[in-house]
Amino acid sequence: MLPAFALVGLTVACGAGGSGAGDVKPSSSAAAPGSGDVGAVAKDDALAGMVPADVKADGKILVGQDQSYPPNEFQDNGKAAGFDVDLGTAIGQVLGVQMEFQNASFDGIIPGIGSKKYEMAMSSFSITSERLQTVDMISYYKAGTSLGVVKGNPDGIKVDDLCGKKVAVQKGTTQVEDLDKKNAACTGAGKPAIDVTQLQAQTDVNLALTAKRVQAELADSPVVDYAVKQTNGALEVVGEPYDTAPYGIVLGKNSGDFGKAVQGAVQKLIDSGAYKKILDKWGLSAAGSVTKSEINPAS
């Protein structure tokens, strides 16, 4: 079930006054009704047996997730929903455990893995060499960065020339690093710096753009594509996605058999066709699908 973007992306923005701060609900939520329905996904006893005893002792895996990033992860009537939720739920079915998705601030999730607050994270994390220094990551999808603007692009925004423009981005994402590099190039060339607005939730980034408080946003390609669709074309994408990189499921460093079990579950879903059903459900581009899941692939 796809909710209206006006509800998910605008009025339910995770933050007071559009800042995104202080309003990320820490409570856990199960998947939205029917969100894990991708057909029969059978438990694999061999893979289930590889899940560490301390992880499966309570029969569930606690998953850290920033539920402000539709269509990948968001809240639908208080329940976790989206591509990552459906895929995570299916992984749990293969491993014989329930997935419990806990809403959290994006930039606090990986530290939460390190402190063992979460046992797993699925929140559109691009695999980077920096992240691989502290966590293990299992690849499951590919996405690039897209530039979103209001329909008609009245300010003539270009991906390769954001100097002096007002651009919104979610805090802690790879797009922040991208803007840092672009900003250095602007000032190095004697041009005006990019006016960067960092917000805690992606829903607030979308709101800032539709409200025309900024001139553009940078986010993962499926997220910007979804925003365009759900606003009935009030927004548009400029150019093609760039810096395509794999998404990774996040586990603690040196995850051992746990990592092998999760990777094996993802691969089983790919091979069985359940993975494709999930992608199709959320309208995600076939260009982002993968045929092989890997642990700690080169970023």
Residue 171 sits in a domain whose CATH number is 3.40.190.10
Is there a domain that residue 66 lies in?
A: yes
| Same domain membership, residue 110 and residue 53 | yes
| Same domain membership, residue 153 and residue 134 | no
- Of 41 and 94, the structure prediction assigns the larger pLDDT to 94
**Is residue 6's pLDDT more than 80?**
no
- Alpha-carbon distance values, 133 to 137, 139, 167, 192, 205 (Å): 10, 16, 29, 34, 29
| Same domain membership, residue 288 and residue 199 | no
Q: Sign of the CA dihedral 61, 66, 70, 76?
A: positive
| Same domain membership, residue 78 and residue 128 | yes
| Same domain membership, residue 89 and residue 78 | yes
> What tokens does 278 get?
């999930």
| Same domain membership, residue 262 and residue 174 | no
Q: Tell me the C-alpha distance between 205 and 188, whole Å.
A: 27
Q: What is the pLDDT of residue 287?
A: 78
pLDDT tens-digit readout, 194-208: 999 999 988 899 999
| Same domain membership, residue 156 and residue 128 | no
pTM score: 0.80
Is there a domain that residue 136 lies in?
A: yes
CA angle 115, 121, 123 (to 5 degrees): 130
Q: What is the pLDDT of residue 230?
A: 83
Q: What is the pLDDT of residue 26?
A: 39
Q: What is the pLDDT of residue 30?
A: 54
| Same domain membership, residue 210 and residue 72 | no
Is there a domain that residue 200 lies in?
A: yes
Is there a domain that residue 29 lies in?
A: no
| Same domain membership, residue 153 and residue 136 | no
- Of 39 and 167, the structure prediction assigns the larger pLDDT to 167
Considering 3-7, 26-30, 85-89, 199-203, the range whose residues carry the highest mean pLDDT is: 85-89
Domain count, the chain: 2
Instruction: Give percent above pLDDT 70 in the chain.
Output: 86
Of 241, 265, 282, the residue at which a domain comes to its end is: 241
| Same domain membership, residue 237 and residue 118 | no
Considering only 59-63, 183-187, 284-288, which range has the smallest mean pLDDT? 284-288
Mean pLDDT across the stretch 57-80? Answer: 94
Is there a domain that residue 70 lies in?
A: yes
pLDDT tens-digit readout, 141-162: 999 999 999 999 999 999 999 9
Mean pLDDT across the stretch 224-245? Answer: 91
Mean pLDDT across the stretch 277-281? Answer: 93
Domain that holds residue 147: 143-241
Q: 112-125: buried (b, 16+ CB within 10 Å) or exposed (e) per residue?
A: bbeeeebbbbbbbb
- Alpha-carbon distance values, 143 to 99, 169, 189, 221 (Å): 24, 16, 30, 6
Is there a domain that residue 1 lies in?
A: no
At residue 231 the predicted structure's pLDDT band, cuts being 50, 70 and 90, is confident
**Is residue 133's pLDDT more than 80?**
yes
At residue 76 the predicted structure's pLDDT band, cuts being 50, 70 and 90, is very high
Q: What is the pLDDT of residue 39?
A: 61
| Same domain membership, residue 160 and residue 72 | no
Q: What is the pLDDT of residue 181?
A: 96
| Same domain membership, residue 249 and residue 127 | yes
